[in-house]
Amino acid sequence: MSAEQQDKNAVRVKGMGDGLCVMLDPDRPPDVLEEELTRVFTPLRHLAVNARVMLDFGDGEGGDALVGKLGDFLRDSFGVGEVARIARRGKNGPDERLRQRDMDQSWHHYRSDVLMLTGRVRSGQKVTARRHLLILGDVNPGAEVAAGGDIIIMGSLAGTAAAGQTDDLESIVLALDFRPTQVQIGPVMAAGLPASPRPFPEYAHVEEGGIVVEDYIRANPFGRLPWPEVR
Amino acid sequence: MEGKIIVVTSGKGGVGKTTATASIGAGLAMEGKRVAVVDMDIGLRNLDVVMGLENRIVFNVVDAVKGKCKLAQAAIKDRRINNLFLIPASQSDNKNVLIPEDMVRFGETLKAEYDYILMDCPAGIERGFENSVAAADEALVVCMPEVSSVRDADRVIGLLYARSITPKLIVNRIVPEMVERGDMLSHEDIVDVLSVDLIGLVPMDDNVIVSTNTGNPLVLQKESKAGAAFLRIAMRVNGRTDLPIEVPRAQGKFWKRMGTKFGLGK
Ligand SMILES: Nc1ncnc2c1ncn2[C@@H]1O[C@H](COP(=O)(O)OP(=O)(O)O)[C@@H](O)[C@H]1O
Ligand SMILES: [Mg+2]
């Protein structure tokens, strides 16, 4: 990849509801980032004025210091409104106030990406969600549910569930009564899971390349996260 | 007269659709209604055999639908039960000779003539099924206490809901001893999965085979538990929704009354 190409990739912008989300590589020097911001913001003209801007530094370290500097730059050069950083899992700075602000902002700026259904999915029926799928009801044997992200069944899952389609290994499948015919997360598949003696909430996730099913209450996988995150 | 068309279906074959159609049809006729049972299993007809009317067939349902004969010419009057008529399937045709639009039209003709029309649906979910449900107002889904039968019933129930038909469930061929030993699905297990209203539970009963072989209606056999169960289903179909559902018991002697939990008539 040429140096110029790399600089281009240092800043990308995408529309986000009523604001702009800007992805930056915090490992690039600040002046390169400013240059790149100029490149992507200039064509936006009046669209940038008073726009809310969320800076996304990905999983990279050290973005916090940049937020103020680049925020000032964007306000001065393009008249944007609020500038804030998107909260990222476990990578936030120690500043409680900043963290609280990031968290609040993240609620405002994300659109729901969940398909929520009530009722029973019957044999031969298939439900597919672009991202997360939430069903208040049961999934019968012979039925199929699939999602780009997580699958949550508030009832019994007796059919086939494919989460994280097609390659997201972070996705989970959770059901109050977990007895699927088959579970798939990303490309990883499991079948013939031993039946539990009585219904209780269990969830499947990928660990070291294999599907692991655990007691959801006991494992409490997301209870360890210190504050709510957008999933 | 504005009759009601009820399709008897299951997805899977051999679960008792034909037996149920003949028996419930007879039961409704015994309630004083004018009833037609229609064999929609084109090419594999057997409702006529079960009813002991096979040697009376001249015209069949395909002839009637296609206008090759009058409805009255295709309808065979039962020998023993008044007001009961059979419209037999054709034996030679392919089931694709009929299309759902034909059946909707034919349904209107039938409804003008009968109080209840029961359609004995063939196995499968293809054209034969489409034809059978095309004109249906209501549906009875027959299911056996067997995982594969429940699966097929579930599939069919989904297809019926998709056509805005709310089905009612018959669980047939229950062996109470096996249910009590835990070797057979109980009707509660089945209703849990299918979540539709139950309209009757029918035990396994040797009289069914005797009846089929002799052409003597099951519902007229006093000692037949299956016959009694189908009679009660017929009464519920005919509006007696207060009639409790009886659960077949082992020990043979008594029936347990089930509460109104699975009550019908919403
Ligand atoms: N309750 C019952 N007890 C015993 N045998 C039954 C019962 N119901 C149906 N059968 C038998 O099961 C077989 C299939 O029944 P049938 O009514 O022809 O099913 P379908 O029309 O669904 O294919 C027949 O041999 C019939 O005699
Ligand atoms: Mg049959």
Mark yes or no for CB contact B158/A158 under 8 Å: no
Q: Is the pLDDT of residue B19 over 80?
A: yes
pLDDT at B262: 44
pLDDT at A12: 77
* DSSP conformation letters of A49-108: TT-EEEEE-TT-S-HHHHHHHHHHHHHHHH----EEEPP-TT---S-HHHHHHHHHHHHH
Mark yes or no for CB contact A142/B147 under 8 Å: no
CATH of A3-85, one of 3.40.50, 3.30.70, 3.30.750, 2.30.29: 3.30.750
Q: Give the confidence band of B149 by pLDDT, cuts at 50, 70, 90.
A: very high
User: Do the Cβ atoms of B107 and B6 come closer than 8 Å?
Assistant: no
Most confident of the ranges A106-110, B54-58, B136-140? B136-140
- Tell me the chain B residues in contact with residue A141 when contact means C-beta distances shorter than 8 Å: 147, 150-151, 154, 193
Mutation for testing the B interface, residue in A118, A123, A176 having most B CBs under 10 Å: A123
Evaluate whether residue B16 is within a structural domain: yes
Q: What is the pTM of this model?
A: 0.73
Interval B104-129 mean pLDDT = 96
Q: Is the pLDDT of residue B178 over 90?
A: yes
Structure token digits, residue B3: 């009759």
Mark yes or no for CB contact A124/B158 under 8 Å: yes
Burial A39-72, CB ≥16 within 10 A → b, else e: eebeeeeeebeebbbbbbbeeeeebbebbeebbe
The CATH number assigned to the domain holding B234 equals: 3.40.50.300
Is residue B15 in contact with ligand 1, taking CB distance under 6 Å? yes
Range of the domain at B203: 4-261
Residue of B95 and B97 predicted with greater confidence: B97
Q: Is the pLDDT of residue B261 over 50?
A: no
Query: pLDDT digits over B23-67, tens only?
Result: 999 999 999 999 999 999 998 899 999 999 999 999 999 999 999
Q: Give the confidence band of A26 by pLDDT, cuts at 50, 70, 90.
A: confident
**Residue B123 to residue A74: CA distance in whole angstroms:** 69
**Residue A182 to residue A150: CA distance in whole angstroms:** 15
**R_g of chain B computed on alpha carbons:** 17
Q: Give the confidence band of A44 by pLDDT, cuts at 50, 70, 90.
A: confident
Evaluate whether residue B47 is within a structural domain: yes
Q: Is the pLDDT of residue A47 over 80?
A: no
User: Domain spanning A114-219 has what CATH number?
Assistant: 2.160.20.70
> Measured between CB atoms, which of B150, B155, B195 is closest to A124?
B155
Q: Quick one: which of A111, A153, A157 has its CA closest to A135?
A: A153
pLDDT at A49: 82
Q: Which residue of B has its CA nearest to A138?
A: B193
Evaluate whether residue B266 is within a structural domain: no
- Tell me the chain A residues in contact with residue B155 when contact means C-beta distances shorter than 8 Å: 122-124, 142
Mean pLDDT, chain B, integer: 92
The boundaries of every CATH 3.30.750 domain in chain A are 3-85
pLDDT at A84: 83
Alpha carbon of B201 to ligand 1 centroid (Å)? 14
- Tell me the chain A residues in contact with residue B159 when contact means C-beta distances shorter than 8 Å: 124
The boundaries of every CATH 2.160.20.70 domain in chain A are 114-219
Whats the size of chain B, residue-wise? 266
- Tell me the chain B residues in contact with residue A138 when contact means C-beta distances shorter than 8 Å: 193, 195
Mark yes or no for CB contact A123/B147 under 8 Å: no
Number of structural domains in chain B: 1
Query: pLDDT digits over B244-257, tens only?
Result: 999 998 764 454 55
Evaluate whether residue B112 is within a structural domain: yes
Q: Give the confidence band of B136 by pLDDT, cuts at 50, 70, 90.
A: very high
pLDDT at A112: 66
pLDDT at A64: 72
ipTM of the complex: 0.74
**All residues at 6 or more sequence positions from A31 whose CB lies less than 8 Å from its CB, including other chains:** none
Q: Is the pLDDT of residue A103 over 80?
A: no
Interval A133-158 mean pLDDT = 97
pLDDT above 90 coverage of chain B, percent: 86
Chain B from 159 to 188: CB within 8 A of any A CB: 159
Q: Give the confidence band of A17 by pLDDT, cuts at 50, 70, 90.
A: low
Mean pLDDT, chain A, integer: 83
Mark yes or no for CB contact B154/A158 under 8 Å: no
